[in-house]
Amino acid sequence: MKALVFRGPGQKAWEEVPDPKILAGTDAIVRIESTTICGTDLHILKGDVPDVTDGRILGHEGVGVITEVGDAVTGLAVGDRVIISCITACGKCEFCVAGLQSHCLASEGASGIGWILGHLIDGTQAEFVRVPFAETSLHRLPEGLALETAVLLSDILPTGHEICVQYGGVKAGDVVAVVGAGPVGLAAVMTAQLYGPSKVIAIDLDANRAELALQFGATHAVVSSDSDWREQVMALTDGLGVDVAIEAVGIPRTWDMAVEMVRPGGHVANVGVHGAPVEFPLDRLWIQNLTITTGLVNANTARMLTKLVAEQRIDPSGFVSHLFALDDIESAYDTFSRAAETKALKVVLNA
């Protein structure tokens, strides 16, 4: 088969590799119909994730058709169309039972890491993929749901919902600020609507991205390059600060922004992947009664979100900015890596 193979920092190739095979009774083989590229894949290519070694097939999102199952798989069958979760979880270990599937103790490659596809084992940017623990890591695709919409349920929608909105404790009447209107930040904007916030403020350095957030459910847009960005936010909160500040970029400055605008008793939910340490001024903030949360998505709300998307209660189709053929994946990476120039949100590759 053909697959996108990591060949060391800054190097990748769409090349012929062996087809995946069933290795355990709980495995399934899925023929990929649709996949996409995540910001994490770009981090891998930069060398930021040293656990990813030369020869690894990238990708942790996808939709496809089951072509083979292990002898322990009884709830899925050959021919089923499925959404592939970005988190592979056994469903039985202590962390899985506690709802922390992202820390599954039975994961291949490293115990306690649920994100293994395209990381510790071969991933979804290929014609076929092996998925361990198929019954808890694959979700049946509802009839009529478009592939390029369904693939968003692998990662960004659950990530935005769980790590930003649920962990952030968003509730009815809250004022929520989302720093970073990229795909995950916009997923937070969209899924926050499920909890009835009074205002959702999207903040981005790019004025176009900030305005785009209004189409995803934001009530206000603020451009962070404005010298008075904080004053604009505070004016929307009666000077008190936001109830929930979501950091969805992963750099020290955006972390600082989140901390600067949260009110006493408020919540800072960090979803950005940070490549450098940030400062937490505890000497000043110890008195503020703040809650700080971090996390890797567990994808345990993916089935619920799939039902909402299938019933058109939420519509994530606007995330897809570019469509490519799977064998044109090198061009798709180029487009996604130049998002500021190409206006890319999510690039989807269909087989």
Specify whether 165 is located in the same domain as 242.
yes
**pLDDT band (50, 70, 90) for residue 28:** very high
The confidence score (pLDDT) of residue 107 equals 86
Mean per-residue pLDDT over the chain, rounded: 96
Specify whether 215 is located in the same domain as 321.
no
The confidence score (pLDDT) of residue 340 equals 85
SS3 letters for the chain? CEEEEECCCCCEEEEECCCCCCCCCCCEEEEEEEEECCHHHHHHHCCCCCCCCCCCECCCCEEEEEEEECCCCCCCCCCCEEEECCCCCCCCCHHHHCCCHHHCCCCCCCCCCCCCECCCECCCCECEEEECCHHHHEEECCCCCCHHHHHHHCCHHHHHHHHHHHCCCCCCCCEEEEECCCHHHHHHHHHHHHHCCCEEEEEECCHHHHHHHHHHCCCEEEECCCCCHHHHHHHCCCCCCEEEEEECCCCHHHHHHHHHHEEEEEEEEECCCCCCCCCCCHHHHHHHCCEEECCCCCCCCHHHHHHHHHCCCCCHHHHEEEEEEHHHHHHHHHHHHCHHHHCCCEEEEEC
Specify whether 306 is located in the same domain as 277.
no
Specify whether 116 is located in the same domain as 50.
yes
The confidence score (pLDDT) of residue 273 equals 87
* Digit-coded pLDDT (tens) for 250-286: 999 999 999 999 999 999 999 998 888 999 999 999 9
pLDDT at 66 over 90: yes
Specify whether 306 is located in the same domain as 286.
no
Specify whether 273 is located in the same domain as 184.
yes
State which residues form the domain around 224: 159-293
Specify whether 194 is located in the same domain as 89.
no
* Digit-coded pLDDT (tens) for 307-349: 999 999 999 999 999 999 999 999 999 999 999 899 999 999 9
* Digit-coded pLDDT (tens) for 209-229: 999 999 999 999 999 999 999
Specify whether 17 is located in the same domain as 84.
yes
Specify whether 288 is located in the same domain as 316.
no
* Digit-coded pLDDT (tens) for 75-131: 999 999 999 999 999 999 999 999 999 999 998 878 889 999 999 999 999 999 999
